[in-house]
Amino acid sequence: MITLRNSTHSIIRNCIASAMVILWGTSLSFSQDTKKDDKPVSNTFNSGTFLENQTYITNGKKVVEFVINHRFGKLSDGSHMAWGVYSPSNIRLEVNYGIRNNLQIGIAATKNNKLIDGSIKWGILKQTKSGKTPVSLTYYGNFAYRGDPTSAFANPGFKESNRFSYFHELMVAYKFCDYFNLQLAPTFAHYNLVETANPIVPANGDSAAVPVRSNNNFGLSVLGKLNINSTLSFMFEFDNNFNKLKIPENDTYKNPKPVIALGLEKATSAHSFQLFVTTADGIVYQKNMMYNQNTFLKKGDVKSGLAIGFNITRVFY
Amino acid sequence: MKSKLIIILIFLLGTLASCTKDTVKPTVLPSTTTAVKLSTDLQPLFSTNCAVSGCHDGNNMDPNLTAGSSYTAIMDAGVVDTTNPSNSTLYKKVNTGGSMANYANPTFASKVLQWIQEGAKNN
């Protein structure tokens, strides 16, 4: 036990030491090595898809990638629902394509809410081995079209623009060492239509539409990957939404809960298999950010909202 | 680099152009023109949903909404505002979004509002 602790201590020490060297390396110049070390760091994330978010990785030009995201029902549904396997589930199928080096577009379909989303991802900066570029920076944006029948929107003044929602994020990723990668991303979600606090008003009452939440929501996503061996790694993610409801919480309207996901990834050169537990069931990022009501642990009467999910990606070079 | 920036800008402009800030429009219930009476229109629901054991039964929460005592108790509690009817606590509590909305319904809330607008009489 003591030797195990010593070896993990030395790994962590090496990680921190190499991180400090990379960070301070910008002030030192080794002229004979700079050309080689200006290459982007390698062995970071294995795919652009990560649990409930994206990573900074973009595929190259003319590369096609297929992504399947699946979320089973809640674990707390119990043994007769096989801990969520027999419960209603959600699935999203995506195809994305590199139109330029570091620029990829994608299109996907999601079962819940019959969403169709189109996305664009731009790899702006790549962290270099020499430290000249300290972090990797990528922009990801999408728009989603909700295909439910108009009655599902419960809006007497329904317009086609009510179907759209948008999501933008700027991912900042840093490789600490070969074992650990971390990414921080400020996130922004916009729903064209938000619910009102008074859906039914009496004839002589105040019929002003009082929004329940802001159309614009801001949040922060933190995700990290710890390598176990060359193909297997442990992943964790925490996404929070900073916008509170405009009215006090009640039975019908509650603040969105943060998304927490933990899992394992097994990767090959062209495949990434991610198996994890997550509190989010919407898959599409803006939906999770604004409407997630699942909690990690049981809270009073409300059962835990954890569910098993998997992501599979397959790249065709 | 330049062409990628242009493509991203086109995408962002497209999303900005289709961006709207809408809220669901409330559904307005049809109006009723007959006067609302406390004894026949409001008291039945007060008795079945509100004045139950443990709640507004005269021994627990104010106001006491049992038949015969409800008018005095409502007036004493100051939960109706005849100068600004929709601001009355009694109406706000039973209307959608209020803390007592689960024990009432929007139609009842509409009748409460109309009763207050008609002077909150002991009828």
Per-residue pLDDT tens over the stretch A197-256: 887 777 777 778 889 999 999 999 999 999 999 999 999 999 999 999 988 888 788 899
pLDDT for A139: 96
- CA-angle at A133, arms to A130 and A135, nearest 5°: 110
State yes or no: pLDDT of A314 exceeds 50. yes
Which residues of chain A lie closer than 8 angstroms to B115, CB-CB?
none
Chain segment A171-190, per-residue pLDDT in tens: 999 999 999 999 999 999 99
Helix (H/G/I), strand (E/B), else coil: A219: strand
Q: Which two tokens stand for residue B43?
A: 């008291």
Q: Which of B12, B18, B95 is nearest to A193 (CA)?
A: B18
A287-to-A43, A79, A126, A143 alpha-carbon distances in Å? 31, 28, 29, 11
pLDDT value, residue A36: 60
ipTM of the assembly?
A: 0.72
Q: How far apart are CA B93 and CA B79, in angstroms?
A: 10
A32: pLDDT confidence band, cut at 50, 70 and 90? very low
Q: Which residues constitute the domain of residue A233?
A: 2-196+207-316
Q: With 60 as the cut, is the pLDDT of residue A8 above it? A: no
**pLDDT for position A26:** 45
pLDDT in tens, B64-114: 999 888 999 999 888 998 888 888 999 989 988 888 888 888 888 888 988
How far, in Å, CA of A21 to CA of A36, rounded? 17
Above 50 in pLDDT, residue A151? yes
Is pLDDT of A126 > 80? yes
Query: Residue A201: inside a domain, yes or no?
Result: no
Instruction: Tell me the nearest-neighbour CA distance from A86 into chain B, angstroms.
Output: 33
Tell me the per-residue pLDDT of A240-282, one tens digit each, with 9 for 90 and over.
999 999 888 887 888 999 999 999 999 998 999 999 999 999 9
Residue B110 contacts A where some CB pair is shorter than 8 Å: yes
**Dihedral sign (CA A219, A167, B17, B10):** positive
Tokens 């809408």 sit at which residue? B22
What is residue A24's predicted lDDT score, i.e. its pLDDT? 53
pTM of the model: 0.73
**Could you give the number of structural domains in chain B?**
1
Residues paired with residue A95 on neighbouring β-strands, in sequence order: A66, A107
Task: Please give the pLDDT value at position A198.
Answer: 80
Show the beta-strand stretches assigned E in chain A: 49-50, 53-54, 64-74, 90-100, 103-110, 115-125, 136-146, 164-177, 180-191, 193-194, 200-201, 216-227, 232-241, 259-267, 271-278, 307-316
DSSP output for A253-300 = --PPPPEEEEEEEEE-SSEEEEEEEES----SHHHHHHH----SS-BT
Q: Taking 50 as the threshold, does the pLDDT of residue A1 lie above it?
A: no
With cut-offs at 50, 70 and 90, classify the pLDDT of residue A83. Answer: very high
CATH at A273? 2.40.160.40
Give the percent of chain A with pLDDT over 90.
71
* A280 vs A32, residue with greater confidence: A280
| A280, part of any domain | yes
Range of the domain at B111: 30-117
In chain A, how many domains are there? 1
User: pLDDT over 70 for what percent of chain B?
Assistant: 98
What's the start-to-end Cα distance of chain A, in Å?
45
Q: Do B23 and A194 touch (CB under 8 A)?
A: yes
Q: Is the pLDDT of residue A29 over 60?
A: no
**Cα distance from A290 to chain B (closest Cα, Å)?**
15
pLDDT of A56 reads 96
Asked whether the CA dihedral A154, A156, A161, A167 is positive or negative, the reply is negative
Local confidence band at A13 (pLDDT 50, 70, 90 cut-offs)? low
Choose among A141, A142, A139, A143: nearest CA to A173.
A139
Answer whether residue B58 is part of any domain.
Answer: yes
Which of B24, B41, B86 is the best mutation test for A, with the most CBs of A within 10 A? B24
Strands A307-316 and A271-278: antiparallel
Q: Does A60 map to a domain?
A: yes
The Cα A304–Cα A282 span in angstroms is 16
Amino acid at A282: G
Task: Work out whether strand A307-316 and strand A53-54 pair parallel, antiparallel, or are unpaired.
Answer: unpaired
Nearest to A259 by CA among A294, A286, A310: A294
Domain membership flag for residue B94? yes
Mutate to test the interface with B, among A100, A146, A193, A204 (most CBs of B within 10 A): A204
Is B24 within 8 Å of A153 when comparing Cβ atoms? yes
Q: Could A164 and B12 be called an inter-chain contact, meaning their C-beta atoms sit closer than 8 Å? A: no
Instruction: Report how many Cβ contacts below 8 Å link chain A to chain B.
Output: 128
Residue B65 token pair: 């909404």
CB B106 within 8 A of CB A202: yes
pLDDT score at A31 = 44
* Chain A residues inside the 8 Å CB shell of B29: 200-203
Q: What does the block give as tokens for A96? A: 């994305």
Give yes or no for B26 touching A (CB within 8 A): yes
- Residues ≥6 apart with Cβ < 8 Å to A301: none
Determine, yes or no, domain membership for A298.
yes
Mean pLDDT of chain A: 88
The percentage of residues in chain B with a pLDDT greater than 90, rounded to a whole number, is 13
